[in-house]
């Protein structure tokens, strides 16, 4: 019985150490979540203004032609998948990667029909294990990424579409709703056909020409959408990690309470047994 009590006490200490770690990780994730939300919100005005300018050109110029606006016969598809470098974030990565795989299996019968651009070590390792075609990858992003951190992969994803290496480009990321809810989402990025029915009435003067400005702005707009999706994904990552660590802390506390109750019962049983042995010994001598 004494050995059993020592094992229980050792297990309680182990769970207490785990609870301290998960509690600290929950607090760190909560702090990073606030910063990520602020960054995501701060990027939206720029993206909206850029969209307004591009839409005004597309709507006001009837003879605009650009590879990023042209719909083509779909022979090959590009997918840019945004995951995290680390785990311990609940279903943040697994739910998104499951959706990506379902989509690819539904749309394609061969690996020659699609190309992957991957942000995050979890996604990269997942696709590598399945020998799937990764064109470009980036890992080791900071917790507060700047556009410069993902500019290379965003540029390559957009350039490959413009050069005709594939005929459409989708972005898969976790859309942030709140700290408890992150929704795996698919966004069709290219071709940019959202301006065809634009009702924008703002008028601008361009130098050297509207077409020249469009040539520069369209790739920047597509890259900005990728960056916005990344910021949304970062907020989702920290929200998922905060929730997962909060649940782990609660579960650890529940286990500690149960083990403490078991320990107290075992201790009480041991004391009762000792008293019974003393009384039995006293009775035997009388």
Number of folded domains that form the chain: 1
Instruction: Tell me if 260 is assigned to some domain.
Output: no
Strands 168-178 and 134-138 come out as unpaired
What pLDDT does 1 receive? 46
pLDDT tier at 202 (50, 70, 90 boundaries)?
low
Phi then psi for residue 285, to 5 deg, are -85, -20
Note down the domain range covering 93: 26-243
| Mean local confidence (pLDDT), 168-194 | 89
Instruction: Tell me if 41 is assigned to some domain.
Output: yes
DSSP state of 75: S
Structure tokens at 209: 């020409």
Instruction: Tell me if 280 is assigned to some domain.
Output: no
| Mean local confidence (pLDDT), 46-72 | 73
Instruction: Tell me if 9 is assigned to some domain.
Output: no
What pLDDT does 63 receive? 62
Rounded to the nearest 10°, the torsion over CA 126, 30, 141, 174 is 50
DSSP state of 67: G
Find the range with the poorest average confidence among 63-77, 80-94, 144-158.
Answer: 63-77
Instruction: Tell me if 283 is assigned to some domain.
Output: no
CATH code at 85? 3.40.1380.10
What pLDDT does 4 receive? 79
CB 182 within 8 A of CB 174: yes
Return the CA Rg of the chain.
28
Structure tokens at 240: 């998922």
pLDDT at 17 over 80: yes
pLDDT tens figures, 229-285: 999 999 999 999 999 999 999 999 999 999 999 888 888 887 887 777 777 776 776
pLDDT tens figures, 82-106: 999 998 999 999 999 999 999 999 9
pLDDT at 61 over 70: no
Distance CA(157)–CA(115), nearest Å, equals: 10
What pLDDT does 278 receive? 75
Q: Give the global pTM.
A: 0.84
Instruction: Tell me if 268 is assigned to some domain.
Output: no
Instruction: Tell me if 70 is assigned to some domain.
Output: yes
Find the range with the poorest average confidence among 9-13, 19-23, 55-59, 200-204.
Answer: 200-204
Instruction: Tell me if 259 is assigned to some domain.
Output: no
């Amino acid at each position: 019985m004494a050995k059993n009590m020592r094992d229980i006490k050792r297990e309680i200490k182990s769970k207490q150490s785990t609870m301290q770690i998960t509690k600290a990780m929950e607090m760190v994730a909560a702090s990073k979540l606030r910063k990520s939300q602020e960054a995501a919100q701060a990027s939206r005005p720029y993206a909206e203004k850029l969209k307004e300018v591009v839409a005004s050109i597309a709507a006001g110029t009837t003879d605009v032609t650009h590879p990023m606006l042209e719909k083509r016969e779909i022979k090959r598809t590009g997918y840019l998948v945004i995951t995290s470098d680390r785990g311990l974030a609940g279903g943040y990565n697994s739910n998104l990667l499951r959706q990506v795989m379902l989509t690819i299996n539904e749309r394609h019968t061969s690996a020659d029909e699609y190309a992957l651009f991957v942000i995050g070590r979890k996604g990269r390792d997942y696709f590598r294990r399945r020998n799937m075609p990764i064109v470009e990858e980036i890992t080791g992003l900071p917790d507060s990424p700047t556009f410069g951190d993902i500019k290379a992969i965003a540029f390559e994803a957009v350039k490959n579409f413009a050069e005709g290496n594939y005929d459409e480009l989708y972005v898969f990321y976790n859309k942030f709703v709140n700290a408890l809810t992150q929704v795996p989402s698919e966004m069709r990025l290219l071709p940019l056909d959202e301006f065809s029915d634009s009702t924008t009435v703002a008028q601008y003067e361009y130098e050297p020409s509207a077409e020249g400005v469009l040539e520069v702005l369209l790739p920047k707009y597509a890259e900005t959408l990728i960056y916005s999706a990344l910021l949304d994904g970062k907020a989702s990552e920290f929200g998922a990690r905060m929730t997962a660590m909060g649940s782990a802390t609660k579960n650890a506390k529940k286990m500690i309470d149960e083990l403490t109750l078991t320990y107290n019962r075992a201790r009480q049983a041991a004391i009762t047994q000792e008293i019974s042995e003393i009384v039995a010994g006293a009775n035997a001598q009388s």
